[in-house]
């Protein structure tokens, strides 16, 4: 038997057994050489065992007999492996070859089922991100979908086609490994700056610079909220001040229905810009669909200017709160539109636009979006004009005011800016202006050729930008803003084909078929997301 050197000996034998040179076959040969099977002796009466095993291990070039437990623990194996190896023993030593991975699992998903899953995933319309990061090839599915929802639709499709569905785990694996797809989601409530800091904190990799940055970020967040609350109180007590928040709701798709076939087709996009008065809690919605306009700075600016022009004569000072999206809200085109508005307006003397801290842009108008999302679940919508009624009835107490917009309502703020203004890059002192850091923008009737900006709420002085073109020292501006569109806009050929398919299957009732048949199409139009909301605050566009 082994002595007290057994621990060292065991380790040597263990290392030998699991060394790189010990293949599957050599390990099985090792077991066969050191486990001997003998018939059971019956000299002492009847025995229920037909055979016995003796175990040995190599020590100093000799075979030392050991007990079964010692043998199994030394090699870190189980009795089942011994029995299997001995059952495969051939010609005295061989325990058989390695058969692992060489047979087909009984529950293996068939190629037919895999192909059917891929066909189902590919049947959903996808769009690309218009303002995507360089080199990104990810495509987007509409926001109403999820993998779970797609799997439920897949099971329904299997019943229709008499197919055996795979499990949700298999469906999810194929979706995640075979496709570069994501779901278009509204802006995230999670702040990327705060989230990154928390991840670094958990990993214990925070630097002094990280702490300085997060402190400044939190300070700006608190300042913006305090500023908004103060302006809210002022507007409630002073009728000459109008303070509002505004934001663009997530895309409203038409038709909107629970019929499963709708999920497989491209749909018309409708856009809804909501304006919420902080003084009287009145909500106003400006709504249009993609055949009447896009959703860039000109469209957003048109809604804001239209709202300001609708204010009662008592209002002298307007304060606008929005998020930091540079393509829609914080750019030279909307700024020039506000300057034109304050100069031409009969009673508004000052307009301020204030931007909340990125990642913390929760506003009162978000409650309007929530109410509308809840209301649309209770009805079916077949043409864009029906959104007017749904939005109007989304709040029973003090219903929202709905203003439909058409293609001839939109101003071309980009053309207006190019024709009337010349400088948005430097202030009067020659310093470069960083529009991505602007927190407050101000225009006034007294300064018809200037835009004033601040990078922080607490700054006392504004940076002055002389932007208006002038003749003999006098600013020149067009009295009327140019129109952006001369006619309705076309949609893609693929989208119209999908919409007509829904008409043919009567998912869209026959009474609405004339509307869809009349839609204009163009080969140059692509189905894309104008702004991927999850990234929009970090992206500079050609409209910055």
pLDDT in tens, 26-54: 888 888 888 988 887 665 555 567 788 89
User: What mean pLDDT is predicted for residues 319-344?
Assistant: 92
Check whether 351 has a pLDDT greater than 90.
yes
Of 347, 353, 354, 342, nearest in space to 446 by CA: 342
Sheet holding 51-59, edge to edge: 35-39, 51-59, 62-66
List the structure tokens of 145: 């979908």
| Exposure letters 463-482 (e unless 16+ CB within 10 A, then b) | bebbbbeeeeeebebeeebe
Give the pLDDT score at 530. Answer: 46
Categorize the per-residue pLDDT at 537 as very low, low, confident or very high, splitting at 50, 70 and 90.
very low
Check whether 87 has a pLDDT greater than 90.
no
The helix/strand/coil state of 395 is coil
List the structure tokens of 285: 């919605």
User: What mean pLDDT is predicted for residues 368-377?
Assistant: 89
Categorize the per-residue pLDDT at 538 as very low, low, confident or very high, splitting at 50, 70 and 90.
very low
pLDDT in tens, 267-276: 999 999 999 9
- Sequence-ordered list of residues with C-beta below 8 angstroms from that of 328, at least 6 positions apart, any chain: 248, 295, 296, 297, 300, 334, 531, 536
Distance separating alpha carbons of residues 520 and 524, to the nearest angstrom: 12
List the structure tokens of 218: 């939190």
CB 123 within 8 A of CB 260: no
List the structure tokens of 338: 């506000």
Categorize the per-residue pLDDT at 442 as very low, low, confident or very high, splitting at 50, 70 and 90.
very high
What's the DSSP call for residue 456? S
Q: Report H helices in 454-512.
A: 493-504
**Which residue do the tokens 């099977």 mark?**
37
**Which residue do the tokens 């803003």 mark?**
481
pTM: predicted TM-score of the whole model, two decimal places? 0.72
Count of positions (residues) in the chain: 544
* Higher-scoring residue by pLDDT: 471, 235: 235
- Average per-residue pLDDT for the chain: 86
CB 443 within 8 A of CB 348: no
CA–chain centroid gap for 450, Å, is 38
Give the pLDDT score at 255. Answer: 93
Of 301, 295, 306, 248, nearest in space to 274 by CA: 248
Q: What is the 3-state secondary structure (H, E, C) of 37-76?
A: EEECCCCCCCCCCCEEEEEEEEECCEEEEECHHHHHHHHC
∠ CA 458-462-466, nearest 5°, is 160
User: What mean pLDDT is predicted for residues 155-161?
Assistant: 90
In DSSP terms, 135 is beta-bridged to none
Distance separating alpha carbons of residues 217 and 198, to the nearest angstrom: 14
The helix/strand/coil state of 147 is helix
Distance separating alpha carbons of residues 274 and 392, to the nearest angstrom: 12
Number of H helices, E strands in the chain: 16, 21
Give the pLDDT score at 3. Answer: 53
CB 524 within 8 A of CB 132: no
Distance separating alpha carbons of residues 445 and 344, to the nearest angstrom: 8
């Amino acid at each position: 038997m082994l002595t007290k050197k057994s621990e060292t000996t065991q380790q040597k034998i263990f290392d030998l057994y699991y060394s790189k040179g010990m293949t599957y076959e050599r390990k099985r040969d090792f077991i066969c050489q050191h486990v001997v099977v003998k018939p059971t002796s019956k000299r002492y009466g009847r025995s229920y065992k037909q055979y016995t095993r003796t175990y040995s291990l190599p020590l100093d070039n000799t075979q030392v007999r050991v007990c079964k437990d010692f043998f199994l623990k030394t090699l870190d194996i189980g009795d089942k492996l011994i029995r299997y190896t001995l059952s495969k023993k051939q010609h005295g030593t061989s325990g058989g070859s390695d058969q692992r991975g060489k047979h087909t699992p009984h529950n293996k998903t068939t190629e037919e089922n895999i192909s059917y899953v891929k066909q189902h995933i590919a049947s959903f319309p996808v769009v690309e991100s218009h303002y995507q990061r360089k080199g990104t090839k990810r495509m987007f599915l509409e926001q109403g979908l999820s993998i779970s929802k797609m799997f439920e639709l897949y099971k329904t499709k299997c019943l229709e086609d008499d197919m055996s569905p795979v499990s949700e785990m298999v469906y999810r694996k194929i979706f995640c490994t075979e496709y570069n797809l994501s779901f278009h989601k509204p802006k995230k409530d999670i702040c990327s700056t705060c989230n990154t800091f928390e991840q670094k904190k958990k990993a214990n990799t925070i630097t002094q610079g990280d702490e300085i940055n997060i402190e400044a970020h939190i300070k700006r967040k608190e300042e913006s909220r305090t500023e908004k609350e103060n302006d809210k109180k002022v507007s409630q007590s002073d009728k000459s001040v109008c303070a509002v928040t505004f934001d663009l709701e997530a895309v409203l798709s038409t038709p909107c229905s629970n019929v499963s076939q709708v999920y497989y087709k491209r749909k018309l996009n409708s856009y809804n810009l909501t304006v919420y008065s902080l003084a009287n809690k009145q909500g106003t919605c400006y709504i249009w669909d993609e055949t009447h306009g896009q959703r860039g700075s000109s469209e957003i600016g048109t809604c804001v200017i239209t709202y300001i022009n609708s204010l009662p004569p008592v209002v002298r000072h307007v304060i606008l709160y929005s998020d930091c999206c540079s393509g829609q809200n914080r750019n030279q085109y909307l700024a020039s539109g506000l300057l034109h508005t304050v100069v031409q307006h009969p009673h508004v003397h000052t307009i301020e636009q204030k931007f909340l801290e990125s990642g913390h842009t929760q506003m009162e108008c978000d409650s309007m979006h929530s109410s509308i999302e809840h209301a649309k679940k209770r009805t079916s919508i077949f043409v864009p004009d029906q959104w007017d009624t749904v939005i109007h009835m989304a709040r029973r107490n003090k219903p929202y005011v709905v203003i439909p917009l058409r293609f001839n309502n939109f101003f071309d703020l980009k053309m207006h800016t190019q024709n009337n203004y010349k400088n948005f890059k430097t202030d009067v002192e020659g310093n470069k202006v960083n529009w991505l850091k602007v927190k407050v923008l101000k225009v006034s009737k007294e300064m018809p050729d200037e835009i004033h900006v601040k990078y922080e709420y607490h700054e006392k002085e504004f940076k002055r930008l002389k932007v208006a073109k002038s003749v003999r020292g006098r600013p020149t501006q067009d009295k009327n803003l140019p129109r952006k569109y001369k006619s309705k806009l076309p949609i893609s050929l693929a989208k119209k084909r999908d919409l007509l398919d829904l008409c043919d299957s009567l998912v869209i009732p026959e009474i609405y078929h004339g509307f869809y048949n009349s839609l204009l199409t163009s080969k140059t139009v692509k189905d894309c997301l104008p702004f991927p909301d999850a990234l929009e605050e970090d992206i500079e566009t050609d409209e910055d």
